[in-house]
Every structure is written in structure tokens, then in C-alpha cells.
Amino acid sequence: MNILSQRNDTTIFDLSSKRAPRVIGSVLFLLSICYIAVFLFDVEPGEKISLGILLFGLISFFFLPKSIWFKPPLILMVLSILWLVAAWAVVSSDFPDRARSGPAVEDFIDKFLFLFIGLALAGSRYRERVFAAVLGAVIVLLPWISGDGFSALMAGLQGHREGFGLNPIRSGMLATFVFMFASVFLLFEVFSERKRKAVMALAAVAVVWSLILVSVSQTRAVFVALLVVLITGVPFVLHRIGVMQNRAGRKKFLIIIAIALMALVSLDYGLGGKNIDRIKQGFSIIPLVATEGVDELPQSSWGIRVIMLNIGLEQSAERPFWGWGYRSSDLILEDAHSAGVLDQEFSQFHNSYLEVLVEYGIVGVVLLLAVFLYLLSRLVALIRPESQDLRLATASFLFLLFMLVFSFFDGILVQGSYGQFIFNAVGGVALSLHFRRAFLQPADVATAG
């Protein structure tokens, strides 16, 4: 049966005999679509949409099975809220002159909105696919939404670093979402017995287009994270679905790797080798650390990251358990600039894990990694050859793995909003997939589509 035609397919809200939960679920879904639109179109009421999702999500818990209340994501959210407040309170007591005002509601929901987006999608295949398709379509149109359209694209193809109205790091990260999802759907379609030419053509166009957007962003961190996913995540997925267990499957894997690498290298040479040159420049820092020491490093993009890593580790060593509290990173970096350690003023360490370690200590890092590992583990359970949700689960798994690696090179999950936005969106899809498997169709994973 065509899932796309099932607009009223079962959701977790149908587990209640009352009508109110279904209405709440529909409102949540509409708000989640609005969340995409207002966020990427930079419309004013974006924060109000997030608060609306939070409000209706909390209300929905009263109508859902009690077992959902005590699932790990909600427990992790509560623990994180308690820890953020506790860390801030301890710093306020120990260093009242340095403590910032306490975390706001927005700081909590920015990190855990995926839980409520998961409730909005509610285990519905129709909702998941519409949500992912709308998100992908908006990102594909990014050059016209926030940039200068074809003129910006042509400038990027001529070697200019282009972010289309956004920081290039952000635009490259967002375009990677489309690249990852379109690539997965294209590859599964190519290797399936029943090939749908229209789907293959659309996915191929999306792959090429998103790869161009990624390339013109000239973001080393994106390419490094993509490479890590290519050599670790892809073989893992192929092993899970049984492709790597025979010679023909291993041959397919090598062909995929070769084509992907050739595509990246060929496109980059068309851009004058900009990305390869930037990656070489970044890795040239490594031998300098060993020979010259951190104090003598050039204040280049990755040189600054190494210097910040040193600063962050020194600061966290003083308060490894509690950290320095809410938004202390910008104060620490401001002090480093005043002392002449950094030539410029920065508000983040350009490393999400270091950021959390400095502000919330080891416990904060453990909580962050626990969220990642929970979502990834739920998706791994769905990456099986007989799963009806194999494609969406695989794409979500690979992108979250990409975010896990990418966050080492940018404070994307802590500072700013675009990283939190895309993490919450994909995390919500992952949670919805889990809801369907756990509460709606326990036998679905063992049923061929």
C-alpha cells in the first residue's frame, strides 16, 4: 500500500480513545512544519513557534501511554534542566562576579525540541516523509531564500566562498542534510529490484545540487565529517543490511566509495581546488603543534581551534565536575583576548563538546553524548534488510553521525541556532520512527515492505 496516500495512518495519539489527543497531534504537526518555514525564512515569530510546540507537546503527554513518559529522551531532558540550573547556582555561589543570569526556557527547548517534534510526527510515515521533504525542499531553495540566487551560485562556482546569506559553515551543514538523504534514497533505489525512474531522477538531481551547495561553502569541517561518515558509517550500514557479507556486496561498497570520492574531488577541481587546499592548510597545523607548541601556532582557522582547545582544557581542569556555568565561554575567551592569547574576540570555542565541558563539566558532556547515542541506537535497531523504514532510518542515522563528528569542529550544538535546528529536526524524525516501532507496530521491523 502506498504510504503517501495514507494521510490518516496510525499515530501514537490514536492509542487514546479520546478525540482531544488527535486534535493536539494535528496542531503539533502543523507547528512543526511552521517551525521549518519560519526558521529558514528567518521570520520573526520563530521562537514563538518553538514555544507553541513545547506547550502542545507537554499537554499531549497527559493523553499518551504512561510508558512514553519515562522513556530516555524525557529523562535526559529533565536531568539536563536540573544540571544546567545546578551548575549555574554553584557558579553563582562560588563566583558571583562572573555568573551570568540563569538559563532561559529557550535554552532548554533549543536542546530538546526534537522530543516534541518526535511527538508531532507521532510515528506516522506520512508525517515523517512530508516533514523531511519540506525541510529538504526549503534547503534546496536556500540560494533564493536567504541569498542572491544564481548570481551567488555563479560566484561560488568561480571560487568565491558562498553561504547564500548565511555563515558558509551553516549553509554547508544544512546542504549536507539534503546530500545525505538524497544519496541514501538514490543508492537504495539503484540497488533495489523495482527501480522507480522518477524517484531516481529526482534523487540524483538533489544529490548533485546539494553537493554543489556543500562545495561552494568551502567548509573543511563538513568535508572531514563527510569523509568520516563515508569510511565508518556507510560500511556499518551495509554490514547491518547484509551487503558486506559477500564479495558482490563488498564490490558495491568499493564502487560507492570510489564514485563519492571522485565526485567530491572532480567538483572541487572545478572550483580551483579550494576545498582540498583548505583541508591541507588545516592539517598542516598538526606537525606545528608537535614542533612549535601551541603558543607559536598561527592564528589561522584551525590554528585558533587548537589554541582554543588548550584554553578550554586548562579552564575545565580547574572545575571538571561543575564547569564554569551558563554562557561562561564568551567570558573565558574575552579574557584570553585581553591577555593577548587570541588576536580576535570570540564567543565560542568552535567545538560543541569543549563548549559543554567548560560550561557544564563532565556531566554535561555525558548528557549530550547520551542524547546522541540514544537516537543512534534507536535508528540502528531499524537498519535491517526487512525494515519498512530502512531508507529513512539509514539517512537519519548517517546524518546524526555526521553531526556527531561535525560538532568537534564547531560549537554548532551550543552557540547559534542552525545546528540545534537541524539536529532537532532529524532527531524528531528518528524519535518518531522509534515511536512507531515501539508502540504502534512492534512487528513492523520483521515485516517486508
- Rounded to the nearest integer, the mean pLDDT of the chain is 83
- Contact status, residue 411 vs residue 352, Cβ threshold 8 Å: yes
- Contact status, residue 419 vs residue 403, Cβ threshold 8 Å: yes
50: Cβ–Cβ under 8 A, 6 or more apart, which residues?
Answer: 35, 106, 109, 110, 113
**C-alpha–C-alpha distance, residues 15 and 18, integer Å:** 9
Confidence check: pLDDT of 346 > 80: yes
Taking phi over 0 as left and psi of -120 to 50 as alpha, with beta for the rest, 242 belongs to left
Confidence check: pLDDT of 441 > 50: yes
In this predicted structure, what is the pLDDT of residue 99?
A: 66
Q: Any alpha helices (H) in 229-347, and if so which ranges?
A: 234-240, 247-270, 274-283, 285-291, 301-318, 329-338
- Contact status, residue 332 vs residue 341, Cβ threshold 8 Å: no
Quote the distance between the C-alpha of residue 311 and its chain's center.
26
Which is higher by pLDDT, 299 or 224? 224
- Contact status, residue 143 vs residue 164, Cβ threshold 8 Å: yes
For residue 193, the SS3 value is coil
Model confidence at 379, pLDDT cuts 50, 70, 90, reads very high
Which of 79-83, 297-301, 365-369 shows the lowest mean pLDDT across its residues? 297-301
Which is higher by pLDDT, 244 or 164? 164
Residues 102-137: pLDDT tens digits? 665 656 667 789 999 999 998 999 999 999 999 999
**C-alpha–C-alpha distance, residues 316 and 322, integer Å:** 9
Confidence check: pLDDT of 8 > 60: no
**C-alpha–C-alpha distance, residues 209 and 314, integer Å:** 43
Q: What is the dihedral of CA 162, 166, 167, 169, to 10 degrees?
A: -80
Which of 192-196, 219-223, 361-365 shows the lowest mean pLDDT across its residues? 192-196
Largest CA distance in the chain: 69
Q: What is the mean pLDDT of residues 190-200?
A: 81
How far apart, in Å, are the Cα atoms of 279 and each of 91, 136, 223, 297? 39, 27, 8, 17
In this predicted structure, what is the pLDDT of residue 270?
A: 54
Q: Which of 394, 324, 392, 332 has the alpha carbon at shortest distance from 358? A: 324
**C-alpha–C-alpha distance, residues 440 and 70, integer Å:** 17
| H or E stretch covering 137 | helix 125-140
- Contact status, residue 424 vs residue 114, Cβ threshold 8 Å: yes
Per-residue DSSP letter, 341:
S
In this predicted structure, what is the pLDDT of residue 354?
A: 95
**C-alpha–C-alpha distance, residues 240 and 425, integer Å:** 25
Confidence check: pLDDT of 281 > 50: yes
Which is higher by pLDDT, 282 or 242? 242
Model confidence at 97, pLDDT cuts 50, 70, 90, reads confident
CA atoms within 13 A of residue 134's CA, in its CB half-sphere? 21
In this predicted structure, what is the pLDDT of residue 356?
A: 92
Residue whose cell numbers read 520483521: 446
In this predicted structure, what is the pLDDT of residue 46?
A: 60
Model confidence at 277, pLDDT cuts 50, 70, 90, reads low
Q: What is the mean pLDDT of residues 173-194?
A: 88
**C-alpha–C-alpha distance, residues 332 and 330, integer Å:** 5
- Contact status, residue 136 vs residue 36, Cβ threshold 8 Å: no
Model confidence at 325, pLDDT cuts 50, 70, 90, reads confident
**C-alpha–C-alpha distance, residues 308 and 169, integer Å:** 18
- Contact status, residue 168 vs residue 161, Cβ threshold 8 Å: yes
- Contact status, residue 411 vs residue 349, Cβ threshold 8 Å: yes
In this predicted structure, what is the pLDDT of residue 447?
A: 39
User: What value, to the nearest 5°, has the Cα angle with vertex 294 and ends 290 and 297?
Assistant: 95
In this predicted structure, what is the pLDDT of residue 219?
A: 86
Q: What is the mean pLDDT of residues 264-269?
A: 60
Which is higher by pLDDT, 398 or 220? 398
In this predicted structure, what is the pLDDT of residue 401?
A: 97
Residues 34-76: pLDDT tens digits? 988 877 776 555 677 888 898 898 888 888 877 777 678 888 8
Q: What is the mean pLDDT of residues 17-46?
A: 80
Model confidence at 293, pLDDT cuts 50, 70, 90, reads low
- Contact status, residue 400 vs residue 83, Cβ threshold 8 Å: no
